Structure formats: structure tokens, C-alpha cells
Chain A
Amino acid sequence: MPKRTDIHTILLIGAGPIIIGQACEFDYSGTQACTVLKNEGYRVVLVNSNPATIMTDPTLADCTYIEPITAEFLEKIIQKERPDALLPTVGGQTALNVAMALYTSGCLARYGVEMIGATPAAIEKAENRQKFNEAMKRIGLDVPNHAIVRSLDEAKRALSLIGLPAVVRPSFTLGGSGGGIAETEADFMRIVANGLDLSPTQEVLIDESIVGWKEYEMEVVRDKKDNVVIICSIENVDPMGIHTGDSMTVAPALTLTDKEYQVMRNASIAVLREIGVDTGGSNVQFAVNPATGRLIVIEMNPRVSRSSALASKATGYPIAKIAAKLAVGYTLDEILNDITRITPASFEPTIDYIVTKIPRFTFEKFPLSDSVLSTQMKSVGEAMSIGRSFAESLQKGFRSIEKGFSGLSQVLIEGTDPHQSYEANKPAIQKALKRPSHIRMLEIAQAMRMGCPVEDICEWTHFDPWMLEQMALILHVEKSLTENGIPRTKEAMWDVKKMGFSDARIAELAHTTEETIRHIRFELGIHPVFKKVDTCSAEFACETAYLYSTYEGNPYQVSACEAFPTNRNKVIILGGGPNRIGQGIEFDYACVHAAFSLKEEGIETIMINCNPETVSTDYDTSDKLYFEPLTAEDVIEVVLKEQENGSLLGVIVQFGGQTPLKLVKALQSAHIPILGTSPDKLDLAEDRERFKALLDRLQLTQPQNDICHRVSDLDATIQRLGYPVVIRPSNVLGGQAMAILLKASDLDRYILANRDILLDGPILVDKFLENATEIDVDALCDGTDVFVAGIMEHIEEAGVHSGDSACTLPTISLTPAQLQEVTHTTEMLAKEMGVVGLMNVQYAFQDNKLFIIEVNPRASRTVPFVAKATGNSIAKVAAKVMIGKKIRDFSFNKPRPTHYCVKEVVFPFGRFDNTDILLGPEMKSTGEVMGIDTTFEMAFYKAQESAGNPIPKKGCILVTVHDKDKPRILESVRCLASLGFAIAATKGTAQFLQKNGIEAVSVNKEKEGGDHLVDKILLREYQLVVNTSLGEDTAESFSLRRVALLNRIPYVTTARAFYAVVNAISKLNQDPEQMTTMPLQDWINRV
């Protein structure tokens, strides 16, 4: 059946900011859907608040609304655009939930909008845990013993039925939010309360615990004629009890016989039919009792998901793309398999390799939070690896997650002593392995090294013995490496490489350098071959160049390589690897733009990346995709292969964040050409001494700074600089343990808390610029000319990491002279540093004096934001400049103050217990949103709305601020009072306000007892919590911030953000109708 002609305009909803549980995979699915629907001739209206996505590029949809994904804003858009249909299944849980809200409110019916892809009834049946369980019973499938509860009383009763431990699972949430495994009644009540609150339908499921069972996922696609295919089976190596998103997984399932697999396949299909997902992709999760094979259904997600992105990358079958086509009426047999281009999409991919996914965690950012894994997802990203054996795939995976592991690296199991016997270490090992940690796999390997038998490990971890046996095989080779040293024969080297050992890991074990191993390996003529991901295990010829490396064959025969380097001019783009805090989708955006841009220039584009969520790892994005770890070894092998034919112009390292930059030295010593800014100049920015000398020469100012080589020197150094200071150890990644110290006592506490890290190496100390306004600038340079693409002013003052602060473009408080100075300085820096491509500079204005905080000669996090705000595709231009084009060759939109764009960020604090929400110099946010409007205030308002921290229009605010901030918030509070807000404040703040003529009710702090503010927040007495806190005061006010966070009471924690909030409120009060909802394309073209 051909596509539907009765619909013309389709509304597509994105997933919003990157959060834990919803990452780049929805940009991947959304981008595919947009492209497909547009190519089919539909008018596509897209709504997504996340500017860092490819899908929101103005060229993708016909109308792109960067607006809050709330029912209120969507209704406005629907009213304006009058779509015929709404596709809610490619934007994660966010899109699904808002679509349901629009349906329930009658909005869809009012405007005659049909939901395609999944009907409201199907969504309800899948996401409502009770209806889902009933449906499963109807089709004869087992679910865990359970009860559905809607109140704490019901929960108590349920507990007596289910018993402990119990698993709490809210309806309509994602990434396991609000869920957990309760071991005690107190735990149970706490988790249920939270779950009820987080579920949009105030409903949670209480399950009997089946922790330790095997967990599987099936990715299923169905069309409207009821043709169903399974795209991929995924086996979780971590058993039930650990969220699939936090589990290491393999594809395909490896420990099922055909009999069991087919039962699961049938069950998956039955689930889709019963739930009524008519068209599109879904994910069904199962648990299997390892002793009996009993199959239990856990849940189904009636939409594309993180797993479906993984399945798409794992098999080469683009689920979202196909789902979009199915949603508009095609059937599977009418769609071609993109990869083979000769067979239809109505088949089941079969693969001839093993795919491993390893999640990436960021517990170091939240040191006080418990790092144990559970049913609530905590990982921020993931890497995927492909190999022709489990061992190879696994070891590639560990080097892909960029945690400093070169394979199954050694870790220390707490409480063990490697010199002691296994028996002596056993209690400590048992304790460690029973506690699911984010490095459990490595702990298991370590336990094996200490002599722990597989049976014990199975019992403690419930890992399948098959996986453990495979690890034992790896360790067996490892042992021979340790004993025999460097493998010097072809055979020995081959053996090791075939098991997936990296050169780096071999070097570690054989006590030599990675370069030595590589050299020996090259001498022996041992290289990997590249094989294709082709959906069909080579049954058909395949045109698409989607490749992975493997050591294939034996030492005596060279195996076939399918890379077939062309004779064209080519460029290799290095991606950003797994998402993490500080390096996420923004860098993928830049890499994708580089690929698009160079394609336009007729250059062959070759992407290397290992993040399965992204658009960059869509085989459609570049001419060639190598799905490989981003290590020197893996990249060099690809380069060597590509250099066999044609001309490699060079490798682009400045778009993928820190990941590719870290490889520059190794690439350079392998004589691999680097495009753009030269490695020497990249080093200039990183090298403190050289950089300082440059600034001195240019007469530019940095905050005063110094290096301490011993902890004991700190005091004297800081005394010399004078408090306050910014302090950071130089040897840790990602700004970990970076802090602002106000006075001597802060230093003592800081040393106490970070002693271990501080002992590691030099410590950098900067004079802290108080009350300074931070500026972010993105610029383009071709070596001669500079284009300053965007100057952004941070809302929060310097001291809040640029990645964590809100910002506005254009600026709001800088004078023309200041702007001039920033522009001029940027131009000077770019030229002096020989930037070819992109550059980002962070400045701070303190008392009208300009300080340079840092210079990054690479694509920054703000590149997509600037591109969307100005309409200039700076990443694309940068890529062209890197291959020799000149800035003069391009025309740019002039900056126009016709609209304001505000970036706001979102944090994962809710998922990490014991974590403060205060902002500081260490980045903690996972994603960002953008608000656009004609005024700064409304743009800011929208950004807050999008970030899930909506600005209240009336009610009562709680103000409790640090002494320093009291004068700074005064006028803001006065304004709110005049707008009719009630003001509550803690004693000191209240007195201050009263003294200044503002009526404020005084409330007790928690420690003062009685009817105190934490209880009042819990009772939702305040619509906004304003709390600033510094130094030692933070401990005392911690609970109030935490309670506000967990109860989703809007909050602000800086005086400047409060000021912006109040301005937005007052603007809104003047004229509630003044918001402008307009597509990005119109904003950009408005002159």
C-alpha cells in the first residue's frame, strides 16, 4: 500500500534536552524521521527545545520550533500550523507523554490532529503498568507477582502481599526514574512516595523482585498489515535489577537455544499485537529464570528507544527511518533495505559479529552519591563495539568508553590484598561483587586474577557463566603475556590480537610502551581487517561502507578486507566517543556538520566514532563509517587503510571534543596529517607557560595564578594571591575537584575532601574573579581573517562553569565598547594562535576589566547554539576552512538584535542522592535547551520552561540567601512583592527585607525546629525557592535544596538567575500575550 495522501502536515516532537535516560539517540531517530517524512513530500513541523541537535537544523524540517515541549506551547503551535498528524514515537518518553497530554486535554481532537505511529490507546496500554499487566495475562504471558498502587496506604497493603525485597516501578516514566529496589520497609515507603510523585499518572507498580534473572530485550517492528519482524535481540550481561541502560549488553542474545529464542520472539510479537502498536518500532523487555527458562515480560516501550538506536547500529537496520515510513502508510515489503539496496525491509537482520554496549558513568562528579547500580538509570552515555568474537568485542568496548581502560584493565577491589591468598581475600571479593558497581566487569576480572572460581562469581553476580568463561579465556592470554613478555613471533602476537587485546594493554602487561608493541606488530605485518555491517551476514552484496575492524583468520593467511579505500580525496573526522558530562551531543553536531560540509565540497568523508546513540554513527551521515574505539591504535589502523588509495587530506580532530584532541600527539608521531589548527598551536592553548607568554606579549590579562607542587605549599601561595581563589588539581579529567575557596577554613575542608586527588600532581590556583560577568565567544578563523560568530553573556556570574550557566545571545549588559573589546581581543587571539577552523574563548569582565579565562582552539559546546541563534552554520564553514577555503568566500548573516536566544541547562541531580544542586566551577549538567523570543525576558522564560524549572506567575516565594547576596536580591524581591507575590524568608533574610520595607514572613530553618521550611517546601507552600549559599553554610541549607529538587519546586541558586527570573515574571505581568511562537526559519530570516 502506498503512503497516505490524506495527510499533508506532520508534527514531530523531539525529546528535549539530553538527560540521563534520553540522550543523542532521539536526535538520531528524530533526524531520520524528519528526513524521511520530508523526502516523502510531507510538510514537517518539528518541535524540540534542544538546540544542540541535528534535527533542529533549519534545513531539516519545514518549520522548526525551538520551544518548550509542554502541552501549552504545543497547543499554540498546533493552532498555528494545523498539522494533520502527530508522530509521537521518535521523541522518547518526553514526546510520548506530551502527546498523551494533548490527547487527554482534547487538543488533538479540537484541531483534528491524528496520532500516527502509536495510538493513544496503545500508548496507554503499554505505559500504564496495570493495563499492561492485564494485557499480558490476556495473551497468556507471565508477569512478576505485582500490585498497582496509587497511594502510600495502598502501597503498605501491597507490601504485605508482595514482600521484601520489592521492586517499585512508576508508570509513564523513563530510565527507571522514581523506581528502585526496596530492601526494607522504610526504603520501600520512601521509593514509593517518590515514584508516585514522578509518575505523571500518580501510579506505581510494586513487583516481586526477580533480581538476578537474565534480562533480554527484543527490538520489534510492525506495519499496519500486521507484518512483524524482530530486528535484534539484546542480552543484558548485568542481570535483572540493573536498568538495561546501565547494563553491559551484547547483541545478539548468546545464551538462548533456538527453542527459547523463538518463545521470546513469539511473545514479543504477541505483545505488539495485543498492545496494538500498529506501525513502528517497539522494545519488549523480558526476564528469564536461568535455572528453569521461565519467561517473564517486564515491559514494552511503544516507541523507538535507546535500545532501538543500539539495535539499528548493531544490525544496520535503521529502525526509526523505517518506523517513520510505516507511520505514513507504507508496509515493510514496500521499503528497501538501505544497506543492501536489493532486499526489502521486511526481513530479520542476521549478523556475523558480536556487539557489546558498555555504559559510561560519571560518579566522580557526584562523589557523595552512592555509586551502586539499581533499577534507576545513572549512566550518562555508552559506547558500542563490534568484534568477531565476544572477547574482541568486549575488549574493544572497554577501550571505547574512555575511562582510561585499555581492555580488561586491573582495578583494586576494596579490602583485598593481591599478595594474600584467595581464601583470605574472599570475603572482600564477595562483598564487592555482590554490590553492583559501575566497574563490576573489571572487578570480576580482578577477582578471577586473584583466583576466584567462576561458580562463586556466578553466585554473587548472577552473570551468565558463558560470559565469565570468556573472560577467563581473556585472562588466560593475559597471564601468558605477563609471564612471557612481549609477543615477538607472528603466532604469539596473532593470538593476543585476536582476543582483542589493544597494543596499550599488551604493553601494560609486557611492561613496555604502546609504541613498542605497535612497532613490533607492524614489523610482524599484523593488522586488522575491516568487515562490513551488512544486515545479512554476507548473504547479499552490500554497497554501504559501514565497517569495523577485526583480527581475522590466522598468522599465515591474510584475510579479506572490505574497506576498499577509494581513489578520492578524503578526510577523516574523529567523533566524540561516548556521551559524558562535559562532552555530549554538541560535539556530535559539529562532527556531523563537518561531514555534510565536506561532502558538499566533493570530498569523501570518513567518520570514526563508537557512540551508538548518535547521528554521526548513522551510516548515512558520511560516505564511510568506521565504528571503532577512538584510541590511537584504532585510528591509526583506519588511517593506514585509507591511505592505501586516494589522497587523505587529513584528520579532523577539533570537532569531537577532548577525545580526538587527546590523540593528536600519537597521530602526529605516526605522521598523520591533522587538518586545521596545527598541533603545535593546539598545544599552545593547553600549555600554561606558553599560553601565559603569549598573553603577556599581547598584553592580555589572565586572573593571577600559580602552580603548587605540594599540598603544603598551597597556603602560602593562596595567601600571596589572596582569597578568594579557584583551585584545581591539574591531573584529573573534566574539572573534577575544582572549587572556589573564599577563606582559609575553606582550604582545610577542601584538602580534607580531596586529599587523594591532590597528592597526584601539581595544583593550579587562580585568583577568583568575584562578581564578574562571564562571556563565551565562538569564532572562526582561516589563519588570516576572523569571524566572531557569537558573543554570549552568562546569566550566572563567573565561577559557575560555562557549561552549567545559562547564557544569552545577544548580550544584555555589555556596552558597545566592551563588545568591541571582546571582538577585537578574539580576533587577535585567533590570529596569533594560528587558528584554522573554530575557536572558543571564555572571558570575564570584572569592573570593566577584561580577563581571559581560557581559550579552546576547537569546536565548543556552544557551536550549535550560536549556529541556531544566528543562522550561520559555523561548523560547516569551519570544515571548509580547514581544507583551504577562506572566510572571505562565505557570506554570513549579520548579528541582529531582533530576537534573543537564551541557553539554559539541565542537571541530573535528582538521580544522584546526597548531591547538592549548587552550581560551581565543575560542570555537572547533561544537556541544554534554548528559548527564543523578541525580548530577553521571554526567551529566558521559555528556556526555564524547557529546562523543567518553570517560572511561577504568582504565589509565594521562599527567600533564604547568603549575606553577600542580600543587597543583590533586594530589588528583585521588592519587584515580586509589588506583583503580589507573598514573601517568606529565613530569619536573617526576613529581617533584611523588612528593614528595607518589604513584607516578609519569617520561617524557621530546619535546625530551628518547629514548623520549618523543609516541611513547608514538602507541603508545596512555595512556588519558587530562592537560595544562595557559600562555603560552610552550604551544609546547613543542603536539605532544603534537595527537597525542593526532589519535589520539583522551581528554584534558583544565584542572585543573577533570580534577577533574570524576576524580570521575566514582571514582563509577563505587564503583558501575558507577548510571547512569540515562531519557527526558527522565520527568526533567522527576519531582518
Chain B
Amino acid sequence: MLQPFVATPYVDAVLMLSDGTYFLGKGIGKKGTTEGEICFNTGITGYQETLTDPSYFGQIVVFTFPHIGNVGTNSEDNESDKIHCRGIVLRNTITTPSNFRSQLSFDHWLSNQKLVGISGVDTRQLTHHIRIHGPQWAIIVYAQAGECLSLEDVHRSIADKKIELTGDLAQYVTASSPYSWPKKSIQAGSGPAYKLVVIDYGVKHTILNLLAEEGFDITVMPSTVSFSDIMALSPDGVFLSNGPGDPSETGKTAVPVIQHLLDNTIPIFGICLGHQLLALAMGLSTEKMHAGHRGANQPVQEIATGNVFITSQNHGFCVSPKHIPSTVQITYRSLFDQSIEGFCVTNKPAFSVQFHPESSPGPHDTRFLFAAFKTMISTAKKVYA
């Protein structure tokens, strides 16, 4: 039997997990109630980028680093036009920001963005818990001063919810209609400006910027775009973006399109969800991970060279190592758990990675993949012409 709790100046919010584990704390951001799937992120910098990453749609993010908000927020570091996660959990209260680029304090920004959060939580204990018990549904409830909250009721409200958010989540974060991404003025002699279609399952701005820096002429299209709509633009390549949720759900509409693109030898590059979708299109399967990979310190090894790169990652599903077709060659593996971090298609110009080469937040070690994509297109033009 859970004791009721009365809001005091010390605790006025509770984070409840569906298994009944709860943490009292103080509300931050918007004072309200929120539900989502709980996950932890071990990155130290880049909270603004993380929260605006559409891949976090539907999730309550636990930051393992205790001081979040130190550098405030600014208009340059957003990865999309708004916050997509459902809530945040912090160890310490948000401090007055200090950074030459800061425009708005983190707390204000959260309120403006209407994100509900809780601070004062033993995020380390919570992280342990998630690592051991895996992903689950969670709720943050805020109580007015003096209000008495029945934790029993709070628990009951989510106890039966497994992971509520099922189905194709990309539909909630994708562009409503096609748009083109501003071109970057690039140096002369850096090759042709290939036409690129980006299928937006929840794409991050930095991905688009880095593609633009490679000189691509970019059209971003909604996740449900059809093969013919893509081909109508006669693209030189197609990029499959990152995004939230279960790839097999999004794949229901996306995979046939991707298979069609493969059949037509359209060069493809996929990141994260895009990678998982490409895998599904190649006949591999995906599976839910126990705790997921979320952080900016994740080592992956390039199998061909043995080189190790530190990557930014953010995924709760991964490509299953079972039944790998002969036309798929695994290119990267996680050195944390040996899971598949990238592959290429041997008979088609297509490759993808599970990690986020665009980083933001995170190390830039693998940004060369954007140039590699461009090279692949040039080569494909010669090989498959």
C-alpha cells in the first residue's frame, strides 16, 4: 500500500513507474501531469538538442548528469521546431544559465514549451532501475501546495499500461507537407548539387544542415510519401531519417516504398530509424532493446578497418542479428553490446547506421558519412548508369 503524500515546499511532484516504483521531487517547467515511456540519456552536454530531437517523441527522458540547464537555451541549437519528448527528470534544480549564447533560461524555455518535468530525483537510482527492469510506462504528477496526492491512485492510473504508444509514431512528428531545405553556399569544385529526397520520420535539423553542406539540393517529404511522389522529383538519392518508435510499425507503410527505391537502385542512406527501416526492407527484423542506447559516448567499430568511433546514439530498438541475408554486409558494431550499428547492401547503393553521425549533441567522429553518401551517389551513377 503506497502512502499518500502531501505537497510541501520540498516535494510537490511525483514520478511513478508502472511497476510502482516512485520518486518524489519538485516540479519544473510546466506544472502539470504527463505520461510517457521512461528512458535515460547519459550525455553531459546538449540537453536542448536532445529535447528537440523528434526521436524522443512520447518519452520521459531521465538525464543522468545532475546539472542540466547550466547554459540556458538559444534559438540556434534546436533540432526541430519544438520539444518532442513528454517529460524530463533531473537530479538538481535548474540553475541560472551562464553562456554567451544563452537567450532564455532552461526553466523558462520548458514552461514556454509546456514540458512537464521533475527535479530532485535520485536519477542514478532510477537509471539503475531502468537498466535492470527495462523500459516501462511512467507518469509525472504535480500537486498544488498542501494538496494530498494518493500515490495508490497515481499508480493505478498507469499500472496496466504497458507501453501505450504503439503504432507508427513517425506520423506525429513528420512534416505535414513537402518542403525544401535552404541550400548552403558551397565551395566551387565540390561536385554536383545532387537532388536529395529526405523522408522525414522525425528528422533533425543538423542532419539536414550537414546534407546541405555536402551540396545536396534537399526536399523533405512526409513519412507516408509514396514511391511515385518521390520519383516525381527524380532524386539522385534518398535519405531515410531518424525518428521515434517501433520500426516495424512505421515500416508498414515505409518498407514497401524503400523496397521500391532499392529495386530502382536509388542510392539510400539511413540513420537510426531510417537504418532500421532499411534493414526491414532488406528482410532483416528489428527488436526492442532492454534499456536502449542513449548517450554521446557510445563506441562503434567499423568492421572493415577495426577503427573505433565515438558516437551519439538514441534508440530503443535495434536490428536483430538473426537471418542476415547475403546481400547485407554489417559495417559497424557497438562495442558496448556487439549490436548491429550499420550495414550496407552489397548489390545496391545503400547503407545505413544506427548511430547518429550528425551528432548534435555528441562527437563529430562519424560526420564523414555524409560525404561518403555523396561519394556513393557519384559512384552509383557510374556503376549503375
Contacts and interface: CB of A to CB of B under 8 A. Distances in A.
A556 interface: yes
Interface in A229-264: 229-230, 252, 254-262
B359 interface: yes
B141 to A, nearest CB: 15
A1078 B6 CA distance: 75
B360 A258 contact: yes
Contacts of A390: 67
A491 B6 CA distance: 13
Contacts of B9: 491
A469 B69 CA distance: 13
Nearest to B132: A541
Most buried by A among B10, B124, B309: B124
A261 B74 CA distance: 15
Contacts of B301: 333, 346
A464 B64 contact: no
Contacts of B123: 352
A687 to B, nearest CB: 46
A225 B301 CA distance: 12
A111 interface: no
A344 B91 CA distance: 28
A470 B95 contact: yes
A344 B335 CA distance: 7
Contacts of A255: 70-71, 98-99
Interface in B352-367: 359-364
B127 interface: yes
Contacts of B99: 255-257, 260
A353 B42 CA distance: 12
Contacts of A554: 10-11, 24-25, 120
Given A333-B335, A465-B96, A539-B127, A348 B363 contact: yes
Contacts of B24: 553-554, 556-557
B168 interface: no
B77 interface: yes
A872 interface: no
Given A257-B77, A265-B363, A292 B100 contact: yes
A552 B124 CA distance: 10
Contacts of B91: 352, 388-389
Interface string B334-378: 011000000000000000000000011111100000000000000
Interface stretch (B43-51, B270-278, B280-288): B43-51
Contact of A347 (B92, B95, B335): B335
Contacts of B8: 491
B124 A258 contact: no
Interface string B74-106: 101100000000000001100111111100000
Contacts of A516: none
Interface string A559-570: 110000000000
What interface size band does chain A fall in? 35 or more
Contacts of A553: 23-24, 120-122, 125
B65 A293 contact: no
B291 to A, nearest CB: 8
B361 A227 contact: no
Contacts of B125: 552-553, 559-560
Contacts of A539: 40, 42, 64, 127, 131, 291, 295
A479 to B, nearest CB: 17
Nearest to A288: B100
Nearest to A557: B24
A621 interface: no
Interface in A336-351: 343-344, 346-351
Contacts, number: 188
Interface in B1-55: 5, 8-11, 23-25, 40, 42-46, 48-49
B43 A257 contact: no
A554 B8 CA distance: 11
Contacts of A292: 100
Interface in A320-378: 331-333, 343-344, 346-354
Given A266-B364, A333-B301, A256 B45 contact: yes
A184 B218 CA distance: 59
Nearest to B46: A258
A531 interface: yes
Contacts of A464: 98
B298 to A, nearest CB: 7
Contact of B307 (A227, A389, A466): A227
A905 interface: no
Per DSSP, chain A at the interface is loop
Nearest to A561: B125
Given A258-B360, A531-B124, A538 B310 contact: no
Nearest to B120: A554
A560 B91 CA distance: 14
B296 interface: yes
Contacts of A344: 299, 335
B122 A537 contact: no
B11 A347 contact: no
Given A538-B124, A559-B122, A560-B125, A258 B5 contact: no
A354 B66 contact: yes
Nearest to B360: A258
A978 B43 CA distance: 73
A352 B74 CA distance: 24
A1019 interface: no
A623 interface: no
Nearest to B25: A554
B297 interface: yes
Nearest to B24: A554
Contacts of A557: 23-24
Q: Which of B66, B67, B120, B359 has the most CB of A within 10 A?
A: B66
B95 A538 contact: no
B124 A350 contact: no
A536 interface: yes
A785 interface: no
Contact of B71 (A252, A256, A349, A470): A256
Contacts of A348: 296-297, 299, 310, 363
A495 interface: yes
A226 interface: yes
A186 interface: no
Given A262-B359, A552-B122, A333 B45 contact: no
Given A227-B308, A292-B100, A352 B124 contact: yes
B122 A560 contact: yes
Contacts of B67: 254, 354, 389-390
Contacts of B40: 538-539
A347 B296 CA distance: 10
B10 A555 contact: yes
A351 B65 contact: yes
Contacts of A465: 96, 98
B381 interface: no
B128 interface: yes
A466 B100 contact: no
B266 to A, nearest CB: 32
A733 interface: no
Interface string A255-298: 11111111001100000000000000000000000111100000
23 contacts: A225-B306, A227-B308, A229-B310, A254-B70, A255-B99, A257-B45, A292-B100, A346-B299, A347-B335, A350-B42, A350-B65, A352-B66, A352-B123, A388-B92, A470-B95, A473-B95, A539-B64, A540-B131, A541-B131, A552-B122, A554-B10, A556-B10, A557-B24
Given A553-B121, A554-B24, 9 more contacts: A227-B308, A255-B70, A256-B99, A258-B46, A333-B301, A343-B335, A536-B297, A537-B124, A539-B131
Interface of B: 5, 8-11, 23-25, 40, 42-46, 48-49, 64-67, 70-71, 74, 76-77, 91-92, 95-101, 120-125, 127-128, 131, 291, 295-299, 301, 306-310, 335-336, 359-364
4 tightest Cβ-Cβ pairs between the two chains A and B:
A258-B46, A466-B98, A258-B361, A537-B64
